[in-house]
Structure 1
Amino acid sequence: MTATSSPPANPRAAADTANRSIRTIAFQLGSLDIALRIEAVQRVFSRVPIYSSGTNSSGVAHVNAQSDSPESQQEVVVFDLHRYLFGQSLPLASPELEAPVSRYLLVAKSPSGQSCGIPLEQEPSLMELPLSSIRQLPETYRQADTLGIASHVATSDRHGRQQTVFLLDMDAVLTLLPR
């Protein structure tokens, strides 16, 4: 995805750009609307236990990669994006299990191929964003703000209200994980 700095000189090209969109999986974290390109999302799970010492924003979850068979079980690093952005973790349910349970766990793959889970309080949804509404975030902003993990920003009219959506850069998210 590249930033659009000026409209195409050709009116037909301008109309094509205005009519094209990208499909994303969108979710809310606190007061922010966040999205990932749909190609980056591997799967969304519900009620997944997350194991963590609680000393930082990372943990691990056991998920079924392809099917519900035990053979397809894999471990996914989980990054508590809510804690990173707002200083506190999402409230996780703790039924009689040994680990807190995330209501939803969105598992995404970065362009470099590494998977990462993001715990969510609400179910994510499909959102189409017109290419004409997407702008690259300035590098100075990305270096200065916790939302620097977003590479682009878009404005969208959703449910009758103007909405600002930040598009995550999964490689930037992964750099925040402790090594």
Structure 2
Amino acid sequence: MTQVIEHSQTTRQMMRLVVFTIAGYRFGLPLESILRVVNVPEELKSSASGMLEVVPVGEYTLTVLNLRSQLSMTQGQTQAVSTRSQAEFLVVTQVETELCALRVDAPPDLIEIDAAAIRQLPAPYRQGHPLSIASHVVVLPQGKATLAIFLLEMKRVLALSENSLG
């Protein structure tokens, strides 16, 4: 499922991630799982930002997932999130046969990481925590600090969104 790039000079395996921000958290998905990144359509900009919206796009139906409200409640970042709501993008991916899009705060970045840097998310985050939508984490040095990127498990994201409706 994940494309791994091997460098001939070393035995390091590299992986390309599309990294984006939602409510102050950085998330990532493997590059090959991303179908497209687009601006939020006008009809979604003016809609109430529910957790799950369905939008017809040509002959397809796109399920748009908005994780911002759930994640911002845990961080207390409602003000920061609302000021950024003007520049939203959709990261389009596919979960089995369903086309899904995540509403993200800014255009995503493409990064290459060493596959050995990927760690399973610690147990406390995998149960009952808002970050349980992630399966793994990558912690990268960022000057004197570190940067955590949570690798999303799209089946969990979709299940969480569907559960929030009922």
Larger radius of gyration: 1
Residue of structure 1 equivalent to 2:20: 27
Mapped pair 1:107 → 2:101: no
Gaps of 5+ in 2: 2-9
Runs (4+) of structure 1 exceeding 3 A deviation are: 51-56, 87-93, 157-161
Which AA in structure 2 matches 1:21? M
Cα distance, 1:83 vs structure 2: 1.4
* Aligned mates of 1:82, 1:155 — CA distance in 2: 22
Which AA in structure 1 matches 2:51? S
3-state DSSP of counterpart to 1:175? helix
**TM-score with structure 1 setting the length:** 0.69
The answer (yes or no) to whether the contact 2:92–2:102 under 8 Å persists in 1 is yes
The answer (yes or no) to whether the contact 1:137–1:150 under 8 Å persists in 2 is yes
Cα distance, 1:73 vs structure 2: 4.4
Cα distance, 1:27 vs structure 2: 0.7
The answer (yes or no) to whether the contact 2:23–2:105 under 8 Å persists in 1 is no
* Aligned mates of 2:28, 2:146 — CA distance in 1: 15
**TM-score with structure 2 setting the length:** 0.74
* Aligned mates of 1:123, 1:78 — CA distance in 2: 16
User: RMSD of aligned C-alpha atoms?
Assistant: 2.9
Which AA in structure 1 matches 2:131? L
Where is the helix percentage greater, Structure 1 or Structure 2? 2
3-state DSSP of counterpart to 1:84? helix
Aligned length: 148
Where in structure 2 are the equivalents of 1:1-179 lying within 5 Å?
A: 16=11, 19-48=12-41, 49-50=43-44, 54=48, 56-63=50-57, 72-87=58-73, 92-93=85-86, 103-110=88-95, 112-157=96-141, 162-176=146-160, 177=162, 178=165
3-state DSSP of counterpart to 2:107? coil
The answer (yes or no) to whether the contact 1:61–1:78 under 8 Å persists in 2 is yes
* Aligned mates of 2:91, 2:72 — CA distance in 1: 19
